[in-house]
Structure 1
Amino acid sequence: MKLSNQEIELLEILETDSRIPMDHLGKMINLSIQETEEMIKKLENSKIIVRHTSVIDWSKVEGHEGVTAMIDVKVTPKRGVGFDEVAQRIYRFKEVKSVYLMSGAFDLSVIVEGKSMNEVARFVSEKLSTLDSVISTTTHFILKKYKHDGTIFEQTDDDKRMLVSP
């Protein structure tokens, strides 16, 4: 779908912060509140705006410890459907948060969340690896998030660089 510059500008603003009040948003793109609401509704109905989310730093929430793993998956594509069929089977598992078709040594990159490393390991060995098309997997556990979806975690305002003056 071809979008106007105003629609693209709206999407860029919403991608950064979807909680901006409608009147402020309208002023930012030079539209009335009603026109802004109609534009957002059109973009939602067209499935361009898929969902409004918040980025949470779960490491700061006591009692919500868990693990995230990035799993590289090599698969055999099926004739006529390519990678789509196996990707659909994978993203239907509740543990799976994201699935991407990749270029390079592996075909799919799968993001999985679990309560423990053992839970993720069981998912890989009992569910993911047992799929007919899956040839091999490589699991990488995320130890710490520094930046996610453009948001920097634990950013400090202290500038540790030495001041240099002429």
Structure 2
Amino acid sequence: MNEKERELLSLIEKEGRMKEESLAKMLDTPADEIAAMLKSLENRKVILGYSALIDWSKTDIAETVTAMIDVKVTPKRGVGFDEVAERIYRFKEVKALYLMSGTYDLSVSIEGRSMSDIAQFVSEKLSTLDSVISTTTHFQLKKYKHDGVIFGQDEEGDHRMVVSP
């Protein structure tokens, strides 16, 4: 991977909607070369997709319930955690899955329509897997910041920090 590709990735990671012309100016590279780099990065699976970050609380669409589940598992000889991780990430409810250090081995982020949907997922799907020893479920109550974006902050008003002697 060359330096221009690294710079391009850094730019689109912060703002995936930037036009090729803007990226070309910022990187001092012709727009057709930027388009070719993006296509190459997509084909090589370096860029896996583009997504929008939405504050669902400001819409009339019912919000989903999000939970983080800590999972302790028994790794299998020869494949470690990969086999059980693959079984878990194939469930449609799973939005993210990470191998972690510390007390628990895996951290699973899931979404459901209700807390009982999450409970049903844990009791019927996740905890029944052979390698799963235990789980601890944490429900997300409010989102303050995600991927560097602050939620619930209005553009209006004075947001300066109060400084007193």
Band the TM-score falls in, shorter-chain normalisation: over 0.9
Percent identity of paired positions between Structure 1 and Structure 2: 60
Match of 1:143 among 130, 141, 144: 141
The runs of at least 4 consecutive aligned structure 1 residues that moved more than 4 Å come to none
1:120 corresponding residue in structure 2: 118
TM-score with structure 1 setting the length: 0.93
Aligned partner of 1:37: which letter?
Answer: A
In 2, Cα distance between the equivalents of 1:160 and 1:150?
Answer: 19
| More deviation, 155-164/66-75 | 155-164
Work out the number of aligned pairs and report it. Answer: 163
Amino acid at match of 1:159: H
Between the aligned partners of 1:163 and 1:104, the Cα distance in structure 2 is: 39
Q: Report 1:83-102 matches (<5 A).
A: 83-102=81-100
**Amino acid of the structure 1 residue aligned with 2:118:** V
Give the whole-Å Cα distance in 2 for the aligned partners of 1:63 and 1:55: 15
Match of 2:12 in 1: 14
Question: What whole-Å deviation, never above 9, does each CA across 1:67-119 have from its counterpart, x for those lacking one?
Answer: 00000000000111100000000000010000000000000000000000000
Once superposed, what is the RMSD of the aligned Cα atoms? 1.4
Secondary structure of the corresponding residue to residue 121 of structure 2 = helix
For normalisation by structure 2, the TM-score amounts to: 0.94
What SS is found at the alignment partner of 1:125?
helix
Residue 108 of structure 1 is matched in structure 2 by: 106
Q: 1:127 to 1:37 in 2, by over 3 A?
A: same
Matches within 5 A, 1:77-88: 77-88=75-86
Of residues 8, 12, 24, the one that matches 1:26 is: 24
Unaligned runs of 5+ in 2: none
